[in-house]
Chain A
Amino acid sequence: MSSASVSLDSNRPRAAAPTTRKVRRRRQWWPYGYMAPVLIVLGVVFGYSFVEVVHYSFYAGSIGSLVWVGTANYRELATDPQFIHSMFNNFKLLFTVPIVTVLALAIALMINTAFRGVRQYRAILFLPYILPATAMGLSFSYLLQGNGVLDALLTKLHVGFLIHDWLGSPSWVMFSIGGVIVWQQLGFGVVVFSAALLAVPAETVEAARIDGANWWVVQRRILIPQIRRIIEFFVILQAIIVLSSVFTYVYVLTGGGPAYSSSVMEFYIYQNGFENGSIGIASAGAVVLLVIASVFIALYLWVRIRAAKDTR
Protein backbone atom coordinates (compact mmCIF):
# COMPACT_ATOMS: atom_id res chain seq x y z
CA MET A 1 0.00 0.00 0.00
CA SER A 2 1.78 3.10 -1.13
CA SER A 3 -0.39 5.49 0.82
CA ALA A 4 0.46 3.60 4.00
CA SER A 5 4.12 4.52 3.79
CA VAL A 6 3.55 8.19 3.00
CA SER A 7 1.23 8.40 5.96
CA LEU A 8 4.12 7.76 8.31
CA ASP A 9 4.50 11.44 8.50
CA SER A 10 5.97 12.81 11.67
CA ASN A 11 5.18 16.23 10.36
CA ARG A 12 1.48 15.70 10.81
CA PRO A 13 -0.03 19.14 11.03
CA ARG A 14 -0.92 20.38 14.49
CA ALA A 15 -3.39 23.14 15.27
CA ALA A 16 -3.09 25.74 12.53
CA ALA A 17 0.49 24.73 11.81
CA PRO A 18 0.28 24.21 8.09
CA THR A 19 2.35 24.25 4.97
CA THR A 20 6.03 24.53 5.89
CA ARG A 21 7.40 21.13 4.95
CA LYS A 22 4.43 19.27 3.63
CA VAL A 23 4.87 20.88 0.21
CA ARG A 24 7.52 18.31 -0.61
CA ARG A 25 5.20 15.43 0.26
CA ARG A 26 3.14 13.62 -2.28
CA ARG A 27 -0.45 14.75 -2.36
CA GLN A 28 -3.00 12.11 -1.37
CA TRP A 29 -6.35 11.55 -2.98
CA TRP A 30 -8.26 9.55 -0.37
CA PRO A 31 -8.93 12.56 1.91
CA TYR A 32 -11.10 14.10 -0.79
CA GLY A 33 -13.38 11.09 -0.67
CA TYR A 34 -13.67 11.43 3.09
CA MET A 35 -14.39 15.13 2.86
CA ALA A 36 -16.84 14.86 -0.04
CA PRO A 37 -20.06 14.29 1.97
CA VAL A 38 -19.62 17.36 4.18
CA LEU A 39 -18.51 19.43 1.21
CA ILE A 40 -21.74 18.53 -0.58
CA VAL A 41 -23.97 19.35 2.40
CA LEU A 42 -22.07 22.56 3.21
CA GLY A 43 -22.21 23.48 -0.46
CA VAL A 44 -26.00 23.23 -0.50
CA VAL A 45 -26.82 24.69 2.92
CA PHE A 46 -24.21 27.46 3.01
CA GLY A 47 -22.70 27.89 -0.47
CA TYR A 48 -25.91 27.80 -2.47
CA SER A 49 -27.74 29.88 0.15
CA PHE A 50 -25.11 32.63 0.25
CA VAL A 51 -25.25 33.04 -3.52
CA GLU A 52 -29.03 32.83 -3.74
CA VAL A 53 -29.81 35.16 -0.85
CA VAL A 54 -27.82 37.89 -2.59
CA HIS A 55 -29.52 37.00 -5.88
CA TYR A 56 -33.06 37.13 -4.44
CA SER A 57 -32.33 40.45 -2.75
CA PHE A 58 -32.50 42.11 -6.18
CA TYR A 59 -35.95 40.71 -6.96
CA ALA A 60 -39.50 41.51 -5.91
CA GLY A 61 -42.68 39.49 -5.97
CA SER A 62 -43.44 36.06 -4.65
CA ILE A 63 -42.38 32.54 -5.60
CA GLY A 64 -42.96 31.87 -9.28
CA SER A 65 -43.31 35.52 -10.30
CA LEU A 66 -40.06 37.20 -9.35
CA VAL A 67 -39.19 40.47 -11.06
CA TRP A 68 -35.76 42.15 -11.17
CA VAL A 69 -35.88 45.44 -9.26
CA GLY A 70 -32.20 46.29 -8.85
CA THR A 71 -31.37 47.84 -5.50
CA ALA A 72 -34.98 48.85 -4.75
CA ASN A 73 -35.22 46.40 -1.84
CA TYR A 74 -32.18 47.89 -0.17
CA ARG A 75 -33.50 51.40 -0.67
CA GLU A 76 -36.79 50.31 0.84
CA LEU A 77 -35.01 48.84 3.87
CA ALA A 78 -33.11 52.08 4.39
CA THR A 79 -36.38 54.01 4.61
CA ASP A 80 -38.52 51.41 6.37
CA PRO A 81 -38.87 52.55 9.99
CA GLN A 82 -39.76 49.01 10.98
CA PHE A 83 -36.47 47.63 9.69
CA ILE A 84 -34.44 50.47 11.21
CA HIS A 85 -36.23 49.88 14.49
CA SER A 86 -35.56 46.13 14.32
CA MET A 87 -31.87 46.71 13.68
CA PHE A 88 -31.74 49.20 16.51
CA ASN A 89 -33.35 46.64 18.81
CA ASN A 90 -30.57 44.15 18.03
CA PHE A 91 -28.05 46.83 18.99
CA LYS A 92 -30.04 47.57 22.14
CA LEU A 93 -29.72 43.92 23.15
CA LEU A 94 -25.94 44.37 23.16
CA PHE A 95 -26.50 45.80 26.65
CA THR A 96 -26.86 42.21 27.86
CA VAL A 97 -23.28 41.39 26.85
CA PRO A 98 -21.46 43.36 29.58
CA ILE A 99 -24.09 42.30 32.12
CA VAL A 100 -23.71 38.59 31.39
CA THR A 101 -19.92 38.88 31.23
CA VAL A 102 -19.44 40.82 34.45
CA LEU A 103 -21.97 38.77 36.43
CA ALA A 104 -20.62 35.46 35.15
CA LEU A 105 -17.06 36.51 35.89
CA ALA A 106 -17.96 37.66 39.39
CA ILE A 107 -19.75 34.40 40.13
CA ALA A 108 -16.93 32.32 38.63
CA LEU A 109 -14.38 34.13 40.83
CA MET A 110 -16.63 33.65 43.84
CA ILE A 111 -16.88 29.90 43.36
CA ASN A 112 -13.25 29.48 42.34
CA THR A 113 -12.47 27.58 45.55
CA ALA A 114 -13.49 24.18 46.78
CA PHE A 115 -16.44 24.42 49.14
CA ARG A 116 -19.50 22.38 49.93
CA GLY A 117 -22.00 22.29 47.12
CA VAL A 118 -19.92 24.14 44.54
CA ARG A 119 -20.55 21.53 41.84
CA GLN A 120 -24.27 21.44 42.53
CA TYR A 121 -24.52 25.21 42.33
CA ARG A 122 -22.66 25.24 39.04
CA ALA A 123 -24.95 22.51 37.66
CA ILE A 124 -28.06 24.46 38.69
CA LEU A 125 -26.79 27.72 37.19
CA PHE A 126 -25.95 25.93 33.93
CA LEU A 127 -29.39 24.32 33.55
CA PRO A 128 -31.16 27.31 31.91
CA TYR A 129 -28.60 27.25 29.10
CA ILE A 130 -29.71 23.82 27.85
CA LEU A 131 -33.47 24.40 28.12
CA PRO A 132 -35.43 25.26 24.97
CA ALA A 133 -36.02 29.00 24.63
CA THR A 134 -39.48 28.24 23.24
CA ALA A 135 -40.71 26.50 26.39
CA MET A 136 -38.92 28.83 28.79
CA GLY A 137 -40.19 31.83 26.82
CA LEU A 138 -43.73 30.56 27.44
CA SER A 139 -43.05 30.39 31.15
CA PHE A 140 -41.54 33.87 31.17
CA SER A 141 -44.45 35.28 29.20
CA TYR A 142 -46.69 34.46 32.19
CA LEU A 143 -44.12 35.61 34.73
CA LEU A 144 -43.60 38.97 33.03
CA GLN A 145 -47.06 39.83 31.73
CA GLY A 146 -48.87 42.86 33.16
CA ASN A 147 -50.26 41.89 36.61
CA GLY A 148 -48.27 38.70 36.22
CA VAL A 149 -46.18 36.82 38.73
CA LEU A 150 -43.28 39.29 38.83
CA ASP A 151 -45.63 42.19 39.46
CA ALA A 152 -47.35 40.23 42.23
CA LEU A 153 -43.96 39.57 43.82
CA LEU A 154 -43.03 43.25 43.62
CA THR A 155 -46.28 44.14 45.36
CA LYS A 156 -45.56 41.65 48.13
CA LEU A 157 -42.09 43.11 48.59
CA HIS A 158 -43.66 46.58 48.96
CA VAL A 159 -41.84 47.95 45.93
CA GLY A 160 -45.04 48.44 43.96
CA PHE A 161 -43.58 51.50 42.20
CA LEU A 162 -41.43 49.06 40.19
CA ILE A 163 -44.48 47.36 38.69
CA HIS A 164 -44.63 47.44 34.90
CA ASP A 165 -46.34 45.74 32.05
CA TRP A 166 -42.97 44.18 31.28
CA LEU A 167 -43.84 42.82 27.86
CA GLY A 168 -46.66 45.17 26.93
CA SER A 169 -44.91 48.49 27.27
CA PRO A 170 -42.74 49.62 24.34
CA SER A 171 -40.21 51.24 26.64
CA TRP A 172 -39.69 48.15 28.81
CA VAL A 173 -40.08 45.28 26.40
CA MET A 174 -36.47 45.14 25.16
CA PHE A 175 -35.20 45.16 28.74
CA SER A 176 -37.49 42.25 29.54
CA ILE A 177 -36.33 40.25 26.52
CA GLY A 178 -32.75 41.13 27.47
CA GLY A 179 -33.44 39.91 30.99
CA VAL A 180 -34.56 36.51 29.72
CA ILE A 181 -31.42 36.31 27.56
CA VAL A 182 -29.26 37.09 30.60
CA TRP A 183 -31.15 34.41 32.56
CA GLN A 184 -30.38 31.82 29.88
CA GLN A 185 -26.76 32.77 29.07
CA LEU A 186 -25.44 33.45 32.57
CA GLY A 187 -24.73 29.82 33.51
CA PHE A 188 -22.83 29.32 30.28
CA GLY A 189 -20.54 32.20 31.18
CA VAL A 190 -20.05 30.92 34.72
CA VAL A 191 -19.03 27.47 33.51
CA VAL A 192 -16.73 28.81 30.80
CA PHE A 193 -14.97 31.21 33.17
CA SER A 194 -14.76 28.61 35.95
CA ALA A 195 -13.03 26.17 33.63
CA ALA A 196 -10.61 28.87 32.51
CA LEU A 197 -9.83 29.86 36.11
CA LEU A 198 -9.14 26.25 37.04
CA ALA A 199 -6.51 26.14 34.31
CA VAL A 200 -4.55 29.05 35.82
CA PRO A 201 -1.44 27.53 37.43
CA ALA A 202 -1.73 27.47 41.22
CA GLU A 203 1.90 28.61 41.59
CA THR A 204 1.12 31.93 39.90
CA VAL A 205 -1.51 32.72 42.50
CA GLU A 206 0.63 31.35 45.32
CA ALA A 207 3.60 33.49 44.32
CA ALA A 208 1.47 36.62 44.38
CA ARG A 209 0.08 35.70 47.79
CA ILE A 210 3.58 35.28 49.19
CA ASP A 211 4.47 38.70 47.83
CA GLY A 212 1.66 40.05 50.00
CA ALA A 213 -1.11 40.52 47.45
CA ASN A 214 -4.57 40.49 49.03
CA TRP A 215 -7.64 38.68 47.64
CA TRP A 216 -8.83 41.56 45.51
CA VAL A 217 -5.40 42.19 44.00
CA VAL A 218 -5.02 38.50 43.15
CA GLN A 219 -8.33 38.52 41.30
CA ARG A 220 -7.72 41.73 39.42
CA ARG A 221 -3.99 41.53 38.67
CA ILE A 222 -3.48 37.79 38.33
CA LEU A 223 -6.62 35.80 37.59
CA ILE A 224 -8.56 38.12 35.29
CA PRO A 225 -5.54 38.95 33.08
CA GLN A 226 -4.73 35.23 32.85
CA ILE A 227 -8.12 34.44 31.35
CA ARG A 228 -8.34 37.61 29.28
CA ARG A 229 -8.43 35.74 25.98
CA ILE A 230 -11.41 33.65 27.04
CA ILE A 231 -13.22 36.75 28.24
CA GLU A 232 -12.66 38.51 24.91
CA PHE A 233 -13.87 35.48 23.04
CA PHE A 234 -16.94 35.14 25.23
CA VAL A 235 -17.84 38.80 24.68
CA ILE A 236 -17.63 38.44 20.90
CA LEU A 237 -19.68 35.24 20.95
CA GLN A 238 -22.39 36.86 23.06
CA ALA A 239 -22.49 39.84 20.72
CA ILE A 240 -22.98 37.50 17.75
CA ILE A 241 -25.79 35.72 19.62
CA VAL A 242 -27.79 38.85 20.42
CA LEU A 243 -27.32 40.18 16.89
CA SER A 244 -28.34 37.03 15.10
CA SER A 245 -29.92 34.33 17.30
CA VAL A 246 -32.69 35.85 19.39
CA PHE A 247 -35.66 35.07 17.16
CA THR A 248 -37.20 32.53 19.53
CA TYR A 249 -37.31 34.93 22.48
CA VAL A 250 -39.04 37.61 20.44
CA TYR A 251 -41.45 35.24 18.74
CA VAL A 252 -42.59 33.54 21.94
CA LEU A 253 -42.42 36.45 24.41
CA THR A 254 -43.98 39.24 22.37
CA GLY A 255 -44.52 38.23 18.75
CA GLY A 256 -42.59 41.41 17.94
CA GLY A 257 -45.15 43.54 19.71
CA PRO A 258 -46.52 45.72 20.99
CA ALA A 259 -46.82 47.21 17.49
CA TYR A 260 -43.38 46.12 16.19
CA SER A 261 -41.64 47.71 19.17
CA SER A 262 -39.72 44.50 19.98
CA SER A 263 -39.03 43.30 16.46
CA VAL A 264 -35.43 42.32 15.67
CA MET A 265 -33.76 41.75 12.29
CA GLU A 266 -34.44 38.01 12.33
CA PHE A 267 -38.07 38.62 13.13
CA TYR A 268 -38.32 41.21 10.36
CA ILE A 269 -36.83 38.74 7.87
CA TYR A 270 -39.20 36.00 9.03
CA GLN A 271 -42.27 38.21 8.84
CA ASN A 272 -41.52 39.68 5.45
CA GLY A 273 -40.41 36.43 3.89
CA PHE A 274 -42.92 34.02 5.29
CA GLU A 275 -45.93 35.96 6.52
CA ASN A 276 -46.03 38.76 3.93
CA GLY A 277 -44.43 36.76 1.13
CA SER A 278 -41.86 39.42 0.18
CA ILE A 279 -38.95 37.16 -0.65
CA GLY A 280 -36.87 40.07 -1.96
CA ILE A 281 -37.21 42.28 1.11
CA ALA A 282 -36.49 39.33 3.40
CA SER A 283 -33.37 38.46 1.38
CA ALA A 284 -32.12 42.03 1.39
CA GLY A 285 -32.64 42.10 5.17
CA ALA A 286 -30.72 38.84 5.46
CA VAL A 287 -27.82 40.29 3.45
CA VAL A 288 -27.71 43.35 5.73
CA LEU A 289 -27.71 41.05 8.76
CA LEU A 290 -24.90 38.98 7.24
CA VAL A 291 -22.82 42.09 6.62
CA ILE A 292 -23.28 43.29 10.20
CA ALA A 293 -22.64 39.81 11.59
CA SER A 294 -19.53 39.37 9.46
CA VAL A 295 -17.82 42.25 11.25
CA PHE A 296 -18.22 40.29 14.48
CA ILE A 297 -17.40 36.99 12.81
CA ALA A 298 -14.14 38.48 11.54
CA LEU A 299 -13.31 39.60 15.08
CA TYR A 300 -14.20 36.15 16.32
CA LEU A 301 -11.93 34.44 13.76
CA TRP A 302 -9.11 36.79 14.64
CA VAL A 303 -9.38 36.04 18.35
CA ARG A 304 -9.69 32.32 17.69
CA ILE A 305 -6.67 32.08 15.39
CA ARG A 306 -4.60 34.23 17.71
CA ALA A 307 -5.52 31.93 20.61
CA ALA A 308 -4.51 28.88 18.56
CA LYS A 309 -1.13 30.50 17.94
CA ASP A 310 -0.71 31.23 21.65
CA THR A 311 -1.16 27.64 22.69
CA ARG A 312 1.19 26.28 20.08
Chain B
Amino acid sequence: MQHVRNIARQLTLIILSVISLYPVWFMLSTALKTSQNYTLNPTGLPLHPTMGNFTAVFADWPVLTWMRNSLVATAVSVVISTVISIMAAFAIVFGRAKGRETLFRSNIALMAIPPVALLVPMYMLMVSAHLINQLPSVIIFYTGLLIPFSIFFFVNFFREIPEELVEAAYIDGAPHHRVLRSVILPISGASTVTLVIVNAIFVWNELLVALVFLQSNSSRTLMAGLALYQGRYVTNEPLLMAAAFLSILPLTVLYVFGQRFFVRGLTAGMGK
Protein backbone atom coordinates (compact mmCIF):
# COMPACT_ATOMS: atom_id res chain seq x y z
CA MET B 1 0.00 0.00 0.00
CA GLN B 2 2.79 2.36 0.97
CA HIS B 3 4.53 1.30 -2.22
CA VAL B 4 1.54 2.14 -4.40
CA ARG B 5 1.23 5.50 -2.73
CA ASN B 6 4.88 6.27 -3.43
CA ILE B 7 4.55 5.43 -7.10
CA ALA B 8 1.39 7.51 -7.39
CA ARG B 9 3.17 10.43 -5.76
CA GLN B 10 6.21 10.19 -8.03
CA LEU B 11 3.95 9.96 -11.07
CA THR B 12 1.92 13.02 -10.05
CA LEU B 13 5.07 15.02 -9.43
CA ILE B 14 6.59 14.01 -12.76
CA ILE B 15 3.45 15.13 -14.59
CA LEU B 16 3.42 18.43 -12.67
CA SER B 17 7.09 18.98 -13.44
CA VAL B 18 6.53 18.39 -17.14
CA ILE B 19 3.68 20.93 -17.12
CA SER B 20 5.88 23.43 -15.28
CA LEU B 21 8.82 23.05 -17.63
CA TYR B 22 7.10 22.47 -20.95
CA PRO B 23 6.54 26.13 -21.92
CA VAL B 24 10.25 26.78 -21.32
CA TRP B 25 11.26 23.71 -23.30
CA PHE B 26 8.91 24.71 -26.11
CA MET B 27 10.57 28.12 -26.17
CA LEU B 28 14.08 26.66 -26.42
CA SER B 29 13.28 23.89 -28.89
CA THR B 30 11.41 26.29 -31.18
CA ALA B 31 14.27 28.79 -31.01
CA LEU B 32 16.62 26.07 -32.29
CA LYS B 33 14.50 25.28 -35.37
CA THR B 34 14.26 26.97 -38.73
CA SER B 35 10.91 28.44 -39.66
CA GLN B 36 10.18 25.54 -42.05
CA ASN B 37 11.12 22.95 -39.46
CA TYR B 38 8.81 24.60 -36.96
CA THR B 39 5.88 24.73 -39.37
CA LEU B 40 6.33 21.07 -40.33
CA ASN B 41 6.64 19.83 -36.77
CA PRO B 42 6.01 22.38 -34.02
CA THR B 43 6.33 19.98 -31.10
CA GLY B 44 9.11 17.69 -32.31
CA LEU B 45 12.70 17.70 -31.14
CA PRO B 46 15.00 20.16 -32.92
CA LEU B 47 16.79 17.40 -34.84
CA HIS B 48 18.98 19.82 -36.77
CA PRO B 49 19.48 22.56 -34.18
CA THR B 50 20.43 25.94 -35.58
CA MET B 51 21.72 29.05 -33.85
CA GLY B 52 20.42 31.11 -36.76
CA ASN B 53 17.54 32.62 -34.80
CA PHE B 54 19.80 33.81 -32.03
CA THR B 55 22.24 35.43 -34.45
CA ALA B 56 19.30 36.99 -36.31
CA VAL B 57 17.88 38.46 -33.09
CA PHE B 58 21.23 40.06 -32.30
CA ALA B 59 21.72 41.26 -35.86
CA ASP B 60 18.23 42.59 -36.65
CA TRP B 61 16.85 43.66 -33.28
CA PRO B 62 18.30 46.28 -30.92
CA VAL B 63 18.32 43.52 -28.35
CA LEU B 64 21.71 44.42 -26.88
CA THR B 65 20.51 47.97 -26.25
CA TRP B 66 17.35 46.63 -24.60
CA MET B 67 19.38 44.29 -22.43
CA ARG B 68 21.68 47.11 -21.39
CA ASN B 69 18.65 49.29 -20.57
CA SER B 70 17.06 46.50 -18.52
CA LEU B 71 20.32 45.96 -16.71
CA VAL B 72 20.80 49.67 -15.93
CA ALA B 73 17.17 50.15 -14.83
CA THR B 74 17.38 47.05 -12.65
CA ALA B 75 20.77 47.81 -11.11
CA VAL B 76 20.13 51.47 -10.34
CA SER B 77 16.62 51.12 -8.93
CA VAL B 78 17.56 48.06 -6.88
CA VAL B 79 20.68 49.67 -5.42
CA ILE B 80 18.95 52.95 -4.54
CA SER B 81 15.87 51.32 -3.05
CA THR B 82 17.95 48.84 -1.05
CA VAL B 83 20.26 51.48 0.41
CA ILE B 84 17.57 53.94 1.44
CA SER B 85 15.30 51.16 2.72
CA ILE B 86 18.08 49.82 4.95
CA MET B 87 18.53 53.31 6.39
CA ALA B 88 14.81 53.72 7.01
CA ALA B 89 14.44 50.25 8.51
CA PHE B 90 17.39 50.94 10.81
CA ALA B 91 15.70 54.12 12.00
CA ILE B 92 12.35 52.35 12.43
CA VAL B 93 13.78 49.53 14.53
CA PHE B 94 16.57 51.20 16.51
CA GLY B 95 15.48 54.83 16.69
CA ARG B 96 12.69 56.47 18.58
CA ALA B 97 10.91 58.91 16.36
CA LYS B 98 7.23 59.61 16.31
CA GLY B 99 5.45 57.98 13.39
CA ARG B 100 7.85 55.14 12.71
CA GLU B 101 5.20 52.50 13.43
CA THR B 102 2.86 54.41 11.12
CA LEU B 103 5.53 54.42 8.41
CA PHE B 104 6.02 50.67 8.85
CA ARG B 105 2.31 49.92 8.65
CA SER B 106 1.72 52.20 5.68
CA ASN B 107 4.42 50.28 3.87
CA ILE B 108 2.58 47.05 4.45
CA ALA B 109 -0.48 48.60 2.78
CA LEU B 110 1.55 50.15 -0.05
CA MET B 111 2.98 46.71 -0.90
CA ALA B 112 -0.44 45.77 -2.24
CA ILE B 113 -1.22 48.92 -4.28
CA PRO B 114 -1.65 48.17 -8.00
CA PRO B 115 1.02 50.10 -9.96
CA VAL B 116 -1.46 50.87 -12.72
CA ALA B 117 -3.30 53.20 -10.33
CA LEU B 118 -0.21 55.43 -10.16
CA LEU B 119 0.52 55.33 -13.85
CA VAL B 120 -1.35 58.39 -15.17
CA PRO B 121 -0.02 60.88 -12.58
CA MET B 122 3.51 59.49 -12.85
CA TYR B 123 3.33 59.75 -16.63
CA MET B 124 2.18 63.38 -16.44
CA LEU B 125 4.98 64.09 -13.99
CA MET B 126 7.59 62.55 -16.28
CA VAL B 127 6.23 64.48 -19.25
CA SER B 128 6.66 67.76 -17.42
CA ALA B 129 10.11 66.71 -16.21
CA HIS B 130 11.08 65.81 -19.83
CA LEU B 131 11.99 62.30 -18.74
CA ILE B 132 9.79 60.30 -21.10
CA ASN B 133 11.89 57.91 -23.19
CA GLN B 134 14.66 58.17 -20.63
CA LEU B 135 15.65 55.52 -18.15
CA PRO B 136 15.44 57.78 -15.06
CA SER B 137 11.64 57.88 -15.55
CA VAL B 138 11.26 54.16 -14.91
CA ILE B 139 14.07 54.12 -12.35
CA ILE B 140 12.23 56.64 -10.15
CA PHE B 141 8.96 54.73 -10.46
CA TYR B 142 10.57 51.33 -9.79
CA THR B 143 12.50 52.67 -6.81
CA GLY B 144 9.22 53.81 -5.29
CA LEU B 145 7.50 50.50 -6.01
CA LEU B 146 10.37 48.52 -4.45
CA ILE B 147 10.60 50.47 -1.20
CA PRO B 148 7.53 49.16 0.69
CA PHE B 149 8.53 45.51 0.50
CA SER B 150 12.20 46.34 1.13
CA ILE B 151 11.39 48.22 4.33
CA PHE B 152 9.04 45.49 5.47
CA PHE B 153 11.73 42.90 4.79
CA PHE B 154 14.55 44.71 6.60
CA VAL B 155 12.43 45.74 9.57
CA ASN B 156 11.48 42.12 10.15
CA PHE B 157 15.10 41.08 9.82
CA PHE B 158 16.50 43.83 12.09
CA ARG B 159 13.98 42.94 14.79
CA GLU B 160 15.64 39.53 15.05
CA ILE B 161 19.07 41.04 15.74
CA PRO B 162 20.01 40.60 19.42
CA GLU B 163 19.79 43.96 21.17
CA GLU B 164 23.04 43.40 23.05
CA LEU B 165 24.98 43.71 19.81
CA VAL B 166 23.66 47.15 19.10
CA GLU B 167 23.79 48.31 22.71
CA ALA B 168 27.43 47.32 23.01
CA ALA B 169 28.29 49.51 20.04
CA TYR B 170 26.41 52.46 21.49
CA ILE B 171 28.15 52.06 24.85
CA ASP B 172 31.43 52.38 23.00
CA GLY B 173 30.11 55.71 21.80
CA ALA B 174 29.72 54.79 18.15
CA PRO B 175 27.59 57.23 16.11
CA HIS B 176 24.51 55.88 14.37
CA HIS B 177 26.00 55.59 10.93
CA ARG B 178 28.92 53.57 12.35
CA VAL B 179 26.53 51.23 14.20
CA LEU B 180 24.66 50.69 10.96
CA ARG B 181 27.83 50.14 8.94
CA SER B 182 29.94 48.04 11.26
CA VAL B 183 27.36 46.21 13.38
CA ILE B 184 24.21 45.81 11.29
CA LEU B 185 25.48 45.53 7.73
CA PRO B 186 28.08 42.79 8.32
CA ILE B 187 25.38 40.43 9.60
CA SER B 188 22.86 41.42 6.92
CA GLY B 189 24.72 40.03 3.93
CA ALA B 190 22.57 37.00 3.14
CA SER B 191 19.36 38.92 3.74
CA THR B 192 20.49 41.73 1.49
CA VAL B 193 21.34 39.30 -1.32
CA THR B 194 17.89 37.76 -0.92
CA LEU B 195 16.15 41.11 -1.13
CA VAL B 196 18.26 42.28 -4.06
CA ILE B 197 17.25 39.15 -6.00
CA VAL B 198 13.54 39.62 -5.30
CA ASN B 199 13.68 43.25 -6.34
CA ALA B 200 15.78 42.53 -9.42
CA ILE B 201 13.25 39.94 -10.59
CA PHE B 202 10.48 42.49 -10.26
CA VAL B 203 12.25 45.17 -12.28
CA TRP B 204 13.65 42.82 -14.92
CA ASN B 205 10.20 41.29 -15.50
CA GLU B 206 8.14 44.50 -15.35
CA LEU B 207 6.21 45.37 -18.50
CA LEU B 208 3.44 47.95 -17.98
CA VAL B 209 5.51 50.89 -16.73
CA ALA B 210 8.29 50.28 -19.25
CA LEU B 211 5.77 50.09 -22.09
CA VAL B 212 4.24 53.45 -21.21
CA PHE B 213 7.34 55.44 -20.23
CA LEU B 214 9.84 54.13 -22.78
CA GLN B 215 8.49 54.48 -26.29
CA SER B 216 11.64 54.86 -28.36
CA ASN B 217 13.62 51.85 -29.48
CA SER B 218 16.83 53.12 -27.94
CA SER B 219 15.28 53.48 -24.48
CA ARG B 220 13.18 50.31 -24.26
CA THR B 221 13.79 47.58 -21.74
CA LEU B 222 13.98 43.97 -22.86
CA MET B 223 10.40 43.13 -21.83
CA ALA B 224 8.94 46.23 -23.48
CA GLY B 225 10.90 45.54 -26.66
CA LEU B 226 9.84 41.92 -26.68
CA ALA B 227 6.17 42.83 -26.23
CA LEU B 228 6.39 45.38 -29.03
CA TYR B 229 8.16 43.12 -31.50
CA GLN B 230 5.63 40.37 -30.81
CA GLY B 231 3.20 42.20 -33.06
CA ARG B 232 5.77 42.68 -35.79
CA TYR B 233 7.19 39.15 -35.86
CA VAL B 234 4.26 37.04 -34.69
CA THR B 235 4.48 34.72 -37.70
CA ASN B 236 8.19 34.07 -37.19
CA GLU B 237 7.80 31.84 -34.15
CA PRO B 238 11.42 30.63 -33.90
CA LEU B 239 12.79 34.18 -33.96
CA LEU B 240 10.40 35.40 -31.24
CA MET B 241 11.08 32.34 -29.11
CA ALA B 242 14.82 32.93 -29.44
CA ALA B 243 14.40 36.49 -28.14
CA ALA B 244 12.06 35.32 -25.38
CA PHE B 245 14.55 32.66 -24.36
CA LEU B 246 17.31 35.24 -24.12
CA SER B 247 15.09 37.27 -21.80
CA ILE B 248 14.52 34.42 -19.36
CA LEU B 249 18.10 33.12 -19.46
CA PRO B 250 19.75 35.41 -16.87
CA LEU B 251 17.11 34.70 -14.21
CA THR B 252 17.04 31.00 -14.93
CA VAL B 253 20.81 30.67 -14.61
CA LEU B 254 20.78 32.67 -11.36
CA TYR B 255 17.94 30.49 -10.12
CA VAL B 256 19.80 27.25 -10.77
CA PHE B 257 22.74 28.44 -8.67
CA GLY B 258 21.08 30.56 -6.00
CA GLN B 259 17.73 28.86 -5.65
CA ARG B 260 17.46 29.19 -1.88
CA PHE B 261 17.77 33.01 -2.11
CA PHE B 262 14.91 33.15 -4.59
CA VAL B 263 12.67 30.91 -2.54
CA ARG B 264 13.46 32.59 0.76
CA GLY B 265 13.05 36.09 -0.63
CA LEU B 266 9.89 35.57 -2.61
CA THR B 267 8.14 33.87 0.26
CA ALA B 268 9.40 36.34 2.89
CA GLY B 269 6.25 38.41 2.57
CA MET B 270 4.24 35.45 3.81
CA GLY B 271 5.80 35.35 7.27
CA LYS B 272 4.35 37.27 10.20
Contact = CB atoms under 8 A, between A and B. Distances in A.
Interface of A: 1, 3-10, 12-16, 18-19, 22, 25-35, 37-39, 41-42, 44-46, 48-53, 56, 63, 107, 110-111, 115, 117, 121, 123-136, 138-143, 148-149, 152-153, 183, 186-188, 191-192, 195-196, 230, 233-234, 237, 240, 243-245, 247-248, 251-252, 265-266, 269-270, 273-274, 279, 282-283, 286-287, 289-290, 293, 296-297, 300-301, 304-305, 307-308, 311
Interface in B74-129: 81, 84-85, 87-88, 90-98, 100-101, 103, 105, 108-110, 112-125, 127
Interface in B135-183: 140-141, 143-145, 147-148, 151, 156, 159, 163, 166-167, 170-171, 173-176
Contacts of B166: 7
B50 interface: no
A300 B207 contact: no
A123 B259 contact: yes
B270 A8 contact: no
Contacts of B95: 28, 30-31, 34
Interface in B1-42: 6, 9-10, 12-13, 16-17, 19-21, 23-24, 26-27, 30, 42
7 interchain residue pairs of minimum CB distance: A45-B144, A31-B95, A244-B114, A52-B121, A31-B91, A34-B91, A31-B97
Given A16-B101, A44-B140, A301 B248 contact: no
A53 B117 contact: yes
Please report whether the interface of chain A is mostly helix, strand, loop or mixed according to DSSP.
helix
Given A107-B16, A115-B6, A308-B272, A34 B117 contact: no
B166 to A, nearest CB: 8
Contacts, number: 315
Contact of A22 (B96, B201, B241): B96
Report which residue of B97, B114, B156, B240 has the largest number of chain A beta carbons within 10 angstroms of its beta carbon.
B114
Q: Is the interface of B mostly helix, strand, loop or mixed?
A: helix
Residue of A111, A124, A127 contacting most chain B CB atoms (<10 Å): A127
27 contacts: A8-B167, A8-B170, A31-B100, A33-B91, A35-B97, A38-B88, A39-B103, A41-B143, A42-B147, A46-B118, A49-B121, A115-B6, A123-B263, A125-B16, A132-B247, A136-B248, A152-B43, A153-B43, A183-B23, A186-B20, A237-B112, A240-B114, A252-B207, A270-B119, A301-B105, A301-B109, A307-B272
A62 B10 CA distance: 58
Contacts of B115: 245
A240 to B, nearest CB: 5
Contacts of B10: 117
A297 B244 contact: no
Interface in B51-68: none
Contacts of A192: 267, 270
Interface string B230-272: 1000000100110011011001100100010011001101101
Contacts of A266: 114, 116, 208
Contacts of B9: 110-111, 115
